[in-house]
Structure 1
Amino acid sequence: MQVEKISIIGLGLIGGSLAKALKEKLGIESITAVDINEKSLSQALKEGFIKEGFTELNESVYNSDIIFICTPVKDAVEYITRLHGKVKAGCILTDTASTKGEIIDYVNSLDNPPCFIGGHPMAGTEKAGFSSSFSHLFENAYYIMSPSKNCPEESLEYLAEIIRGIGAIPIKLDSKEHDIITATISHVPHVIASALVNLVKFSDSPDGKMQTLAAGGFKDITRIASSNPKMWENIILSNKEIVKSTLNKFTETINTFIEYIDNENSNGIYNFFDSAKKFRDSIPNNRKGLIEPQNELIVDVVDKPGIIGEIATILGNNGINIKNINVSNSREFEQGCLRITLPDSGSVAEAYELLAKKGYKVFKI
């Protein structure tokens, strides 16, 4: 199969990054986009990442070799319904939604179902929209593929080649297995992060002391609570039974810990933290997961005039772009006080080596 034309439905962060990656990394010229946001379409056309842009499906989309549906699950199901029976023979339909079971079950229930491969790139940021998209979003990220029943092996392998071409790592997973995994490592953590933030909100005093002191570590561990609420409403409802089951397991874990406290079980409390530390430390750092890494360094510095400029100059002279730099005022459980946010893991490694050689105490998060 030789791809000549690709269409992307939904030109937000994922769809926009996909268009940029297909153009820049694979040299695909004929890319059509569909989005209700005309501003995004105009920007993509102006910057040369798409050849055509429409607000509705049409013959140009139906005539594609591959159609990426980069929308929430509910919208993706609607688009599949509208595309069913209209796309050309051999066309591969795929999506990028965070749950797979509901959409695969729907496709398999259709009469003469299309060649559909459920897709889930394990990459993203808290930002949204085409303006936030970038071509290297998928680099070194796992990209899940869950084929429907009417998907030939050659179509699966062809999509895998496209995925490799944009820098991602394709992995084939059954849709139900995918949803169990993502519920545990992504969906429930987002629920817990939001629950922690709401706990502070509803426990705070009228003068907001908790909010003031919640800087530093608390803000880091709840960072994902800043994600798009509408998107997460859609994700949770599309995977509701597995999310409920996983939350029940989490509740059991918390209840066990409460028992350790009630019984003053020192060994139980110690082993709870020790087991978590050992397992977390064994998780590799060189792959992207469902939650975007922070790409931050913490530098232990003396509070003196010019220290921030000194460090910024060292990094700038070596071509390292600083996205953000600030002083951490709440660092009871942190080392250092200067937090530096960098664009990617490569910049973190390079900055760490540079500052360490200059004698600074540097810590990776």
Structure 2
Amino acid sequence: MRNNLFFIGLGLIGGSLAMAVKKEHPSCRIAGYDIEPEQAQLGVTLGVIDEAVLSIEDGAKHADCIILSAPVQQTLLIMDQLSKMTLKKGVIITDVGSTKETIALHANKIFTEDMIFIGGHPMAGSHKSGVSAAKAHLFENAFYVLCDSSEEHAPYIEELKTLFAGTKANFVIMNPKEHDLITGVISHFPHIIAAGLVHQAVQHEEENPLTRRLAAGGFRDITRIASSSPAMWRDILLQNKEHMLQLFDNWLQEMERVRDFLKWEDSSAIYQYFNEAKEFRDGLPVKQQGAIPSFYDLYIDVPDYPGVISEITGYLAKEKISITNIRIIETREDINGVLRISFQREADRERAKNCIAKYTSYGTFFG
């Protein structure tokens, strides 16, 4: 068992992973470094890590396992630093980045045989950031991809799975190229589409001022992921350039195909197009997390009177149920409004549903 761990980067992902390790393996000694020293010190105060170090070298030289929890571009630079240090023989180095091929190629080029690099990608997240938002259960039921299919590294992969068992994640082994293609299809490219839809709305708003107001409903929901970090997505796209360019070509062909259906008024083809999409979408796992964090929303019909929102949140607080977001979808005089409350996990949403049913007579439904 590797008892000395070193986390480089103590944001939401690094902090949550450290907490999961500590919960499962209390004997582990966890050191942490962050480019913002106050974040590392806060990690000690919150019990996320045992020790905050002032430099990467201070933490790395004693580590049995080093976890790089930084943006992809910074991860590459940190790897360069580690490659020039004297580390423990057989140290495992892993990361949590959203792209894997570039990082894996770089690791193969700079690390010696005594440094075991295994790429990792825990597919979970939150709208919150920083070590103060870290949760040991963040990765529960999420996919945790480990990118190394070499036979000689198989024992080290098993060590990592044991070390990270407290995440209660579903571990998947695949090669880096396969990972980047799949995440490109189901995560990276959808973010481009969402951003593109928003840009299209912005252009139309110049001629149609009502665009922004009407976009406040379903359009706002289906483009949620466009609110993600611009810097993060810039780096992800650049690191996954090869696959993204191919996906652009595929998407343009697909849109041209649908355009032709409409141009020639091929009603049968249009129907079949939407029907095939519906069948595939309806067959997707409902309660399993994927590459894009799920949205666990509870929609509540609430009467329109002063204090109703604080009443609802009061009931949730009484039952110690945490929420991540709250929004009024619609409220008009003399009719019920629709309150949407978002949660971190499916279990929290179910608890909230039962809580509100217990204390009120409001009808609830899911989006």
TM-score computed with the length of structure 1 as normaliser? 0.89
What do the CA deviations read for 1:55-85 (whole angstroms, capped 9, x no partner)? 4222432221110011122222222222126
CA distance in 2, matches of 1:107, 1:316: 47
Higher deviation after alignment, 161-170 or 310-319: 310-319
**Conserved 8 A contact 2:304-2:337:** no
Paired residue for 1:92?
A: 92
Deviation at 1:156, TM superposition (A): 0.9
CA distance in 2, matches of 1:127, 1:311: 22
CA distance in 1, matches of 2:191, 2:77: 26
Paired residue for 1:364?
A: 366
Deviation at 1:221, TM superposition (A): 1.0
**Conserved 8 A contact 2:142-2:288:** yes
CA distance in 2, matches of 1:323, 1:238: 30
Name the amino acid aligned to 1:362. Answer: T
CA distance in 2, matches of 1:336, 1:287: 30
Name the amino acid aligned to 2:338. Answer: C
Name the amino acid aligned to 2:34. Answer: D
CA distance in 2, matches of 1:354, 1:60: 45
What do the CA deviations read for 1:314-358 (whole angstroms, capped 9, x no partner)? 65555544444432139xxxx982212234211222334565687
Deviation at 1:244, TM superposition (A): 1.1
Query: Is 2:62 aligned against 1:63?
Result: yes
Deviation at 1:303, TM superposition (A): 4.0
Name the amino acid aligned to 2:167. Answer: I
C-alpha spacing 1:150/1:129, structure 2 compared with 1 (3 Å): farther
Deviation at 1:363, TM superposition (A): 2.4
Query: Is 2:243 aligned against 1:242?
Result: yes
Paired residue for 1:216?
A: 217
For residue 180 of structure 2, give the secondary structure of its aligned residue in structure 1: helix
Deviation at 1:5, TM superposition (A): 0.5
CA distance in 1, matches of 2:307, 2:127: 32
The alignment yields a C-alpha RMSD, in angstroms, of: 2.6
For residue 348 of structure 1, give the secondary structure of its aligned residue in structure 2: helix
Higher deviation after alignment, 94-103 or 255-264: 255-264
For residue 330 of structure 2, give the secondary structure of its aligned residue in structure 1: coil
C-alpha spacing 1:150/1:39, structure 2 compared with 1 (3 Å): farther
**Conserved 8 A contact 1:96-1:119:** yes
Gaps of 5+ in 1: none
**Conserved 8 A contact 1:301-1:360:** yes
Paired residue for 1:144?
A: 145
CA distance in 2, matches of 1:355, 1:35: 41
**Conserved 8 A contact 1:121-1:138:** yes
**Conserved 8 A contact 1:139-1:168:** yes
C-alpha spacing 1:47/1:250, structure 2 compared with 1 (3 Å): same
Name the amino acid aligned to 2:102. Answer: E
Deviation at 1:26, TM superposition (A): 2.7
C-alpha spacing 1:77/1:315, structure 2 compared with 1 (3 Å): closer
Where do 1:128-207 residues align within 5 Å? 128-147=129-148, 152-205=153-206
C-alpha spacing 1:343/1:14, structure 2 compared with 1 (3 Å): closer
**Conserved 8 A contact 2:296-2:346:** yes
C-alpha spacing 1:59/1:337, structure 2 compared with 1 (3 Å): closer
Query: Is 2:19 aligned against 1:20?
Result: yes
The sequence identity of aligned pairs, in percent, is 36
Paired residue for 1:345?
A: 346
Where do 1:27-38 residues align within 5 Å? 27-38=26-37
Higher deviation after alignment, 74-83 or 33-42: 74-83
Name the amino acid aligned to 1:43. Answer: L
For residue 337 of structure 1, give the secondary structure of its aligned residue in structure 2: strand
Name the amino acid aligned to 1:209. Answer: L
> How many pairs are equivalent?
361
C-alpha spacing 1:230/1:6, structure 2 compared with 1 (3 Å): same
**Conserved 8 A contact 2:98-2:236:** yes
CA distance in 1, matches of 2:76, 2:313: 48
C-alpha spacing 1:324/1:175, structure 2 compared with 1 (3 Å): closer
**Conserved 8 A contact 2:299-2:338:** yes
Name the amino acid aligned to 2:218. Answer: G
C-alpha spacing 1:316/1:31, structure 2 compared with 1 (3 Å): closer
For residue 364 of structure 2, give the secondary structure of its aligned residue in structure 1: strand
Deviation at 1:207, TM superposition (A): 8.1
TM-score computed with the length of structure 2 as normaliser? 0.89
Deviation at 1:308, TM superposition (A): 4.4
**Conserved 8 A contact 1:100-1:176:** yes
C-alpha spacing 1:361/1:259, structure 2 compared with 1 (3 Å): farther
CA distance in 1, matches of 2:348, 2:32: 32
Paired residue for 1:75?
A: 74
For residue 136 of structure 1, give the secondary structure of its aligned residue in structure 2: coil
Higher deviation after alignment, 228-237 or 314-323: 314-323
